[in-house]
Structure 1
Amino acid sequence: MGFTQPPIGSDDVFNARRWKRILGNYSTPIRLRSLAELAITALPLAMLWTAAWFTFSIGYAWASLLIAFPAAGFLLRLFMIQHDCGHGTFFAGRLANDWVGRVIGVLTLTPYDYWRRTHAIHHATTGNIDRRGIGDVDTLTVREYRALSWWGRLKYRLYRHPLIMFGVGPAYLFLLQQRIPVGLMRNGWQPWASTMATNLAIAVVVAALTWFIGIKAFLLVHLPITLLAATAGVWLFYVQHQFEHTTWDRDEGWNLHHAALYGSSHYELPALLRWFTANIGIHHVHHLSSRIPYYRLPHVLRDHPELRDFGHITLLESFRCVRLVLWDEAQRRLVSFREIRARDCWARGTDKEDKAAA
């Protein structure tokens, strides 16, 4: 699964810096295409939300819940547009990117300016073991995990458990954590202003909708849509960097372009899911050149098919990534708790044999 990365400094023909230069040719957004992408995402979301409320109001709560699934897909896609705005790639002008991103942020519960900063840090430090902490899924090395107390190990195992990571985690992240500028609280007033302005706008929208349809209808219609979209978003972010043969390096040996190409996955999804996720599965190309609009990412693979094999994982293969929780610096790959436990048991058995022989 995936494409095993060569060591930094290799003369491999797939040179990451060379790809960075080539991909610059795809970085120009197409204004009409961007407007069309926004329309075909926002309008169906509004229609599906209205349909979910209407079916709930006439007593068909089960139908409302079914409608929540496609509605969540469009909300997720809207988040991807916000993501491109944050990179300054959805429109040519910064003003259009920023204000479209801020408005979308009210719907996705994601403060745009705050998120843009943390995501920029993620791009600037991805794959760097010594600069973990912002915009990443918390990942310990095998050595760090072994050095923890039993309580520390338990907390990490709970954090990495699928029910927490993809169940409680998305709800906590989008409903609670993003209400304050976590990670940037000492960076001046701007993260606070962005977050509080988004919170105020969210409060106004929620108040208006609850006044119009009632608190019960709002919660039972909107919460399923939001939570489904949040879970899908967290899953995508997880798979994009948490696959077996990703790459992590210490600061002195880390290279941005190498980490982008070999530390990000090419998550090949079925066509419909690829559309709803706005081609974010072509993540290695996105990290190599974050200025490429999402609708131009498939053109890169079409013109340069040799990029398809880097970090390649399928939908079925991606489910096995959940068990990969620790970075093994010796083997340069992610490993599972079970593998580390088996290794430790083997080492203890070997020690006992050595002592008995002595």
Structure 2
Amino acid sequence: MSHSTNISIEALRTPLKPYATPDRNRALWQIGNTFLPYLALWGLLIYLLKNEVSFFAVIPILILAALFLVRIFIIFHDCTHGSFFASRRANTILGYISGFLTFTPFSYWQRNHLVHHGTYANLDKRGVGDMWTLTVNEYRALSPAKQLAYRLYRNPLVFLGIGPGYSFLITQRFLYSWEGKNERFSAMVTNVVIVLIAVLATLTIGLKTYLMIQVPIMLIAGAFGVWLFYVQHQFDGVYWAHKEEWDPARAAMDGSSYYQLPKVLQWFTGNIGYHHIHHVLPRIPNYKLQTCYDTIPQMHKDNPLTLKKRFIRLKRTSLREFP
């Protein structure tokens, strides 16, 4: 089904609006089946490492814990949109808690992400909450040194390896000049809690054990998260337009992917593969996205992205030619 039509964003949203109501019971169930297993895996890892089990033997458990942390981040993401709970206060509290676990300041990331929702697929408003993306002409106009920097930035070893660690462990610890009071507060509180957790861990399980668990989980989960973000807006045929031609309906349907993941990965990623639906109406909680796709024909997409069809095309330095 092609979505390159003149349908308005409001027309797309109309059949989705009944699903944009949080369900407290489903939200609480998701908290239970996400946070509790994550904490239990942490306990298991502490027990194994303190009993001198080889680090390599616990790598599968670290990967599983990282997948649960990805799911925690999806809940965090819903809270930034105010869609997880009906209560704004409940979303903020859970958002902060999730942010402590994912090392992400709630209000700071919320502001960046909402800017992303208003500017993605707009060639004249790139640079906030997105990946560095150039057109062919922009790339060719760069100096050789900047071309190399761009290619290195998009190299899988960098943006799936070094990049997530640098972003989640380092850059989000610092403040930026354009931030407002809420953003500064969330960054400072998150940093203080991270330090307190590290101090408590040092006094109990030991700093070495803490780092042997926390750092790998963050790096693995970060790589998963960045990969998902990449696939959601970087794929063959993706819609981009200059500001005067930018259309929010086309940006949502053709500028965001439907990533058809295996059911187990769909569960861990909180249905975020239905990213086009999320961009049409961000107020829909993740636990209702599957139902939206199943019941609303307008949301169906031909030829969805899959693991088999597309592992990745990372060597592409641009999307297509633009004037």
Alignment equivalent of 2:130, drawn from 127, 133, 136: 136
> Is the CA contact 1:284–1:311 (under 8 Å) kept in the aligned structure 2?
no
Alignment equivalent of 2:169, drawn from 168, 175, 186: 175
> Is the CA contact 2:137–2:322 (under 8 Å) kept in the aligned structure 1?
no
User: Does residue 18 of the first structure (1) align with residue 11 of the second (2)?
Assistant: yes
Pick closer, same or farther for the CA change 1:51–1:174 going to 2, 3 Å.
same
> Is the CA contact 1:265–1:311 (under 8 Å) kept in the aligned structure 2?
no
Give the structure 2 partner of residue 39 of structure 1.
Answer: 32
Alpha-carbon shift at residue 5 of structure 1 (Å) = 5.6
User: Does residue 276 of the first structure (1) align with residue 264 of the second (2)?
Assistant: no
CA distance in 2, matches of 1:268, 1:305: 16
CA distance in 1, matches of 2:26, 2:213: 31
Alpha-carbon shift at residue 305 of structure 1 (Å) = 4.0
Give 4+ residue runs of structure 1 displaced > 6 Å after superposition. Answer: none
Alignment equivalent of 2:89, drawn from 85, 95, 117: 95
CA distance in 2, matches of 1:93, 1:310: 36
> Is the CA contact 1:280–1:294 (under 8 Å) kept in the aligned structure 2?
yes
Alpha-carbon shift at residue 210 of structure 1 (Å) = 1.7
Alpha-carbon shift at residue 83 of structure 1 (Å) = 0.4
Alignment equivalent of 1:58, drawn from 44, 51, 59: 51
**1:138-169 alpha-carbon deviations (Å, 9 max, x no partner):** 10010000101111111111111110010000
TM norm structure 2: 0.95
Give the structure 2 partner of residue 326 of structure 1.
Answer: 318
Alpha-carbon shift at residue 4 of structure 1 (Å) = 6.3
AA partner of residue 50 (structure 1): G
Alpha-carbon shift at residue 63 of structure 1 (Å) = 2.8
The RMSD of aligned alpha carbons is: 1.6
User: Does residue 76 of the first structure (1) align with residue 64 of the second (2)?
Assistant: no
Alpha-carbon shift at residue 88 of structure 1 (Å) = 0.3
CA distance in 2, matches of 1:170, 1:269: 22
What SS is found at the alignment partner of 2:15?
A: helix
AA partner of residue 247 (structure 1): Y
User: 1:180-329 to 2 correspondence within 5 Å?
Assistant: 180-182=174-176, 185-309=177-301, 312-329=304-321
> Is the CA contact 2:108–2:179 (under 8 Å) kept in the aligned structure 1?
no
Question: Which of the pair has the greater relative contact order for Cα pairs under 8 Å at 6+ separation?
Answer: 2
5+ residue gaps, structure 1, are 332-358
AA partner of residue 299 (structure 1): T
Alpha-carbon shift at residue 38 of structure 1 (Å) = 0.5
CA distance in 1, matches of 2:230, 2:8: 25
TM norm structure 1: 0.86
> Is the CA contact 2:63–2:217 (under 8 Å) kept in the aligned structure 1?
yes
Alignment equivalent of 1:150, drawn from 116, 134, 144: 144
CA distance in 2, matches of 1:110, 1:318: 29
**1:26-80 alpha-carbon deviations (Å, 9 max, x no partner):** 1001101101101110000000011011111111123322210111111110010
What SS is found at the alignment partner of 1:322?
A: coil
Alpha-carbon shift at residue 328 of structure 1 (Å) = 1.7
Give the structure 1 partner of residue 99 of structure 2.
Answer: 105
CA distance in 2, matches of 1:203, 1:326: 40
5+ residue gaps, structure 2, are none
Q: From the CA coordinates, give the structure whose radius of gyration is larger.
A: 1
Q: Which shows bigger deviation, 305-314 or 29-38?
A: 305-314
**1:2-21 alpha-carbon deviations (Å, 9 max, x no partner):** x7663xxx45xx65442112
